[in-house]
Amino acid sequence: MRALVYEGPNKVAVKDVPDAVIERPGDALVRVTSTNICGSDLHMFEGRTAMEEGRVFGHENLGQVIEVGDAVEHVKVGDWVCLPFNVSCGYCKNCERGLTGACLAMNPGTAGAAYGFAGMGPFEGGQAEYLRVPHADFNCLKLPEDAEEKQADYVMLADIFPTGYHATEMACVKPGESVVVYGAGPVGLMAAMSSFIRGASKVIVVDRFPDRLRLAQQIGAIAVDFSAKDAIDQVLHHTDGMGADKGCECVGYQAHDPQGEEQPNITMNNLVASVRATGKIGVVGVFVPEDPKAKDKLEKKGQIAFDWGQFWFKGLSLGTGQANVKAYNRQLRELIHLGKAKPSFIVSHELPLEAAPEAYARFNERRDGWTKVILKPGNEPARDRNKSEAAVARR
């Protein structure tokens, strides 16, 4: 089968690799029709993780089941399914409590497994024609009859819609509250949309890329460009000088300063300064235990200089970690099905798998108009729906 293979820092190629097959009786085999490039792939693409060369990327996957193992009862050949990026067992201590992002069985010795991911087990990714799904009855989210037609929406259930929602859940966003979201990448935009779903009265989104900030405005958020003026001042200006009730971190350890230089502690300290006393912060942006290639001395050891005194003094609290996709994907699926949420508003490109290397390069540059890429490996006619470029052309 054709698959996108990691070949070292900033190098990926589409190659022939051995077909994914049923390996265990609980597996299903899925023909992947939609698979996204994620900001998490970019940390690996840039060589900023311990990802092994030769591995296949892709943890945001949707497709049609073409084969099931002997022990699979619920999932049937022909079903359209979306796969949570977490590969989980369903029976360990954490899975039983709904914490599938910290499954103890699928990647023994640590907590949490994922498809095509550094340090998260041997599972190959879905930026390929076929994907093996372990414990299929537990991991597959079945999709309704509009699955094929709405796959650009449903594929967001694999990761970023539940992840954005998870940030708002950890921040305990309540009706009527104000929320500041750092990062207007796909995850930040999903956190902004999720804040509105939970009834936030005001959502402020901080980034420096105009195309991404425009998407935030499109769903009713206030856009803050931190390269134009200090982010904290702008958030305080929009929140009567008090700070937002709640905050979401959707950037991670490769955060930038206003000039575009990496500064891993900037978003965490901006949150401490721009969330009101007693507020809560949900951190879904990825931070890593070590980052040997970082310029910052502390960051090399996975540490940041954090404004702990201010954090403590304000009585703030914090939640972190991988999203437990299965805790939310079923409910969020219903919002899509009934037309109450349309996460595909962030999609700029739908491209054939063969175009993946070019797409990685452009998405990694945060090139204007490259806000979210869906790859279409499972032999569907691909369309370029670069809305942002079209919008720019119209002006």
Binding site for Zn ion (CB under 5 A): 38, 40, 60, 88-89, 92, 95, 103, 105, 159
Residue 251 engages ligand NAD in binding (rule: CB under 6 A): yes
CB of 101 to Zn ion, least distance (A): 10
231-238 vs 266-274: helix crossing angle, rounded to 10 = 30
- Near ligand NAD in 330-369, by CB under 6 A: 366
Piece of 38-46, 90-98, 102-110, 339-347 that binds ligand NAD (CB under 6 A):
38-46
| Interaction of residue 223 with ligand NAD, rule CB under 6 A | no
Q: Is 252 in the site for ligand NAD (CB under 6 A)?
A: yes
Question: CB under 6 A: which stretch of 74-82, 139-147, 159-167, 298-306 binds ligand NAD?
Answer: 159-167
Pick from 32, 128, 187, 355: which binds ligand NAD (CB under 6 A)? 187
Residue 15 has φ and ψ, to the nearest 5°, of -140, 170
β pairing state of 130-133 and 28-36 = antiparallel
58 close to 128: Cβ distance less than 8 angstroms? yes
Distance of closest approach, residue 220 Cβ to Zn ion, in angstroms: 24
In the complex with ligand NAD, which residue's Cβ is closer, 39 or 378?
Answer: 39
DSSP string, 318-385: EEES---GGGTHHHHHHHHHTTS--GGGG--EEE-GGGHHHHHHHHHTT-TT-S-EEE-TTT------
Question: CA angle 144-84-191, nearest 5°?
Answer: 90
Among Zn ion, ligand NAD, none, residue 105 binds (CB under 5-8 Å by kind)? Zn ion
Q: Which is nearer to Zn ion, 92 or 361 (CB)?
A: 92
At closest approach, how far in Å is the CB of 259 from ligand NAD?
11
Q: What share of the chain is helix, strand, coil (3-state, %, to 5)?
A: 30, 20, 50
Work out what residue 212 binds among Zn ion, ligand NAD, none; the CB cut-off runs from 5 to 8 Å by kind.
ligand NAD
Pick from Zn ion, ligand NAD, none: which does 5 bind, CB < 5 to 8 A by kind? none
For residues 145 and 120, give the distance between their C-alpha atoms in angstroms, rounded to a whole number.
33
- What lies within 8 Å, CB to CB, of 365 at 6+ separation is none
Residue 282 as a binder of ligand NAD (CB under 6 A): the answer is no
The pair of three-digit structure tokens given for residue 248, joined into one six-digit string = 């979401």
221 binds ligand NAD (CB under 6 A): no
Q: Which is nearer to Zn ion, 57 or 182 (CB)?
A: 57
Residues in CB range of 152: below 8 A, 6 or more apart: 34, 344, 347, 350, 374
Q: In this structure, how many other beta carbons lie within 10 angstroms of the beta carbon of residue 46?
A: 15
* Strand-strand pairing, 373-375 and 28-36: antiparallel
Among 2, 208, 246, 362, binds ligand NAD (CB under 6 A): 208
Smaller CB separation from Zn ion, 40 or 139: 40
- Residue 226 as a binder of ligand NAD (CB under 6 A): the answer is yes
Question: Contact between 48 and ligand NAD (CB under 6 A)?
Answer: no
Please choose, from the candidates 301, 314, 387, 309, the residue with its C-alpha nearest in 3D space to the C-alpha of residue 344. 387
Stretch that binds ligand NAD, among 33-41, 44-52, 91-99, 235-243 (CB under 6 A): 33-41
By the criterion CB under 6 A, which residues form the site for ligand NAD?
38-40, 42-43, 159-160, 163, 182-188, 206-209, 212, 226, 250-252, 255-256, 266-267, 284-286, 322-323, 366
